[in-house]
Structure 1
Amino acid sequence: MKQTIKWGIIGCGDVTEIKSGPAYKMAEGFELVAVMRRNLKLAKDYAERHNVPRFYNDADELINHPEVDAVYIATPPDTHRYYALKVANAGKICCIEKPMAPSYAECLDIQTTFERQNLPLFVAYYRRSLPRFNKVKSLLEEKAIGDVRHVSWYLSRTPSTLDTSDTYNWRTDGKIAPAGYFDDLASHGIDLFAYLFGNITCAKGVSGNQQNLYTAKDIISGSWEHESGVVGTGMWSFGTYKREDKVRIIGSEGELSFSVFGEVPIEIITKNKTEQITIENPKHIQKFHVANMAKHLSSDFQHPSTGATATHTAWVMDKILG
């Protein structure tokens, strides 16, 4: 493998502007050399602003360019499998934006294809690499709240202006994201819980569309059990009067709470004290995720978010959705 791994991005939209794209230029041993967008003018604009030498409106040109060693797929999820199989066929490293694909079956197809070809596959569940959530993991391992009994997550939000307008939003298109914002947002938390408590052995749920604002689901409840014995419950509602995002982990000696998306302090409550820990996220939220990919590819370090872990998350999501 080359000392410097040269990356190309398929789908250089909003998510790549600050959250992820710059991280590929910052990581030691990585270089961003090409971007693709269906609109060539927008691809050129991105390349010029981010000092990327090549830009395309044809994904095949980027994937098959001899100087592109690895490809980051940052398109909407309905095209993830299509592009990922092309990357695998070209024999190249891949990172896919989350969710990995709209269904468990598609995720499994992607994962097994890369495994058969012995190609590295990562998925951008970047919370597994953030210091904030690794602090939560270390607190649990140190038994700061004793033995964990159960975890609950409540996530709600008001309808957005996109939801109540005629503007197209793929995140609520039932053909692309059948469970709407649950696919886009809840996948982060479900994946994080598998990281904190071990894989999930069984899951079930109820879902519906209460508002009739779009074709995807807008309310989902679920319950599950981890291989560690920890039991979980979740409620995700996208048509309430206010935004709320709170995870509570209940243990034999206390509880720990945090937000999946907000940067509120981690709070630990025991019989003797209440403690708050503040850890800010980096400006480029995928910084540690991308740096960990570089470590994985250059050493014996194991990246926490792979095709296998993301496929497990997709299985859980499908089970909750029935």
Structure 2
Amino acid sequence: MTHKNWRWGMVGCGDVTERKSGPAYRIAAGSELVAVYSRRADKAADYARRHGVDHWHDDLDALLANDAVDAVYIATPPAAHPDIARQVAAAGKPCCIEKPLANSLEEAEAIADAFSSRGLPLFVAFYRRSLPRFRQVAGWIETGRIGAVRHVHWSLTRAPNAADLSGADNWRTDPDVAPGGYFDDLACHGLDLFDHLIGPLSNVHGQALHQHQLYKAPSAFSANWQHANGATGTGVWNFAAAGREDQVRILGSHGEIRFSVFEDEPVILQTEDETLSQLVDNPDPVQLPHVEAMITHLNGGPAHPSLAANALRTVRAVDAIRGVPGNG
């Protein structure tokens, strides 16, 4: 294993980069954030100034040609991923792309092929795979604390927010940018986590409905699926509900595990003999373990837990739940 210091260029400087991701690329051992790009020069310059980034660009070609940039982090909405990713691959640079990898399986496969055909690493920012909270859950499952996994269910509900009610511009509810609305942005986190904890999803069936007319994207989803080990799964994601819920139950032959995908709540293990409740704090910034694992991978260490293969499986599941034919 080598100890190369990896210098990152970041494409996009939206909200996710302020606290969750950008700082992680700056402070992780062996990592530097050396350049940022935005189509708006004022945004790129402002981000660089506030975060101590040496270079800013309003021309993507300039960032990719910058000799100081070894690898690229794409932090744009998913509709922009395919074009940017193809340019990064053509420039010969390893890449991390924010989730979801793309808005369709066809686009996601084209992105993956662009990197694999050049022998370039492609990471996807399903950072929950690297978080201590979910490593605890994985440990309980792997050591048989609940026996054989039989079923997983996830219920995620949200009430319309102020932007929804006002009709304000929001890429997360614009079907041209996110065909499944909030589902695309949020559900992929949990579906990918189930892939990681229990195994790949198959026979995925779902439905997407418009339960209010606040925006053009669907607001209600439900699904069922199977896992490779024979476990079953179900999910409900409703963004037209009265209240907020985020609850996962993994049922086993000898107990169950409960946790939240997004909320800072304890992970709970319950069997006939014991009930354990552990509040496992997230690191700050939350993507730090994800970035550290990428540096380890790039330097010849163990493989990163979130690569193109799992991201493609998650896009396939999302497509199936949204009702895209042939992707179950």
Scaled by the length of structure 2, what TM-score is found? 0.96
Runs of 4+ residues deviating >3 angstroms: none
Once the two structures are aligned, what percentage of the paired residues are identical?
A: 49
Contact 2:102 2:108 in 1 (8 A): yes
Q: Name the CA distance, whole Å, in 2 between partners of 1:29 and 1:128.
A: 20
Q: Which residue of 2 aligns with 1:85?
A: 86
Residue 273 of structure 2 is aligned to residue 280 of structure 1: no
Query: Secondary structure of the residue that 1:44 maps to in structure 2?
Result: helix
Query: Secondary structure of the residue that 2:247 maps to in structure 1?
Result: strand
Query: Secondary structure of the residue that 1:162 maps to in structure 2?
Result: helix
Aligned positions of 1:217-228 closer than 5 A: 217-228=218-229
Residue 231 of structure 2 is aligned to residue 233 of structure 1: no
Contact 2:174 2:215 in 1 (8 A): yes
Q: Name the CA distance, whole Å, in 1 between partners of 2:131 and 2:210.
A: 33
Q: Which residue of 1 aligns with 2:312?
A: 311
Q: Name the CA distance, whole Å, in 2 between partners of 1:56 and 1:131.
A: 35
Q: Name the CA distance, whole Å, in 2 between partners of 1:260 and 1:138.
A: 17
Aligned positions of 1:197-276 closer than 5 A: 197-276=198-277
Q: Which residue of 2 aligns with 1:137?
A: 138
Q: Which residue of 2 aligns with 1:290?
A: 291
- Which deviations, in whole Å up to 9, do the C-alpha atoms of 1:257-285 show, x marking residues without a partner? 00000111011111122210110111211
Kindly state the Cα deviation for residue 237 of structure 1 after the two structures are TM-superposed.
0.1
Q: Which residue of 2 aligns with 1:146?
A: 147
- Residue type at the aligned position of 1:227: A
Q: Which residue of 1 aligns with 2:39?
A: 38
Q: Name the CA distance, whole Å, in 2 between partners of 1:166 and 1:205.
A: 27
- Which deviations, in whole Å up to 9, do the C-alpha atoms of 1:72-113 show, x marking residues without a partner? 000111000110000000000100011111111111110111
- Residue type at the aligned position of 1:216: A
Q: Which residue of 2 aligns with 1:67?
A: 68
Number of positions where the alignment pairs a residue of Structure 1 with one of Structure 2? 322
- Which deviations, in whole Å up to 9, do the C-alpha atoms of 1:16-71 show, x marking residues without a partner? 01100011111121111100112211211110111101001111111121221111
- Residue type at the aligned position of 1:21: G
Residue 51 of structure 2 is aligned to residue 50 of structure 1: yes
Q: Which residue of 2 aligns with 1:118?
A: 119
Kindly state the Cα deviation for residue 309 of structure 1 after the two structures are TM-superposed.
1.1
Kindly state the Cα deviation for residue 2 of structure 1 after the two structures are TM-superposed.
8.5
Measured on the aligned residues, the alpha-carbon RMSD in Å equals 1.1
Contact 2:167 2:214 in 1 (8 A): no
Query: Secondary structure of the residue that 2:261 maps to in structure 1?
Result: coil
- Residue type at the aligned position of 2:254: E
Structure 1: 5+ residue runs without aligned partners? none
- Which deviations, in whole Å up to 9, do the C-alpha atoms of 1:137-185 show, x marking residues without a partner? 0100111111110000000011011111131000000111111111000
Scaled by the length of structure 1, what TM-score is found? 0.98
Structure 2: 5+ residue runs without aligned partners? 324-328
Query: Secondary structure of the residue that 2:187 maps to in structure 1?
Result: helix
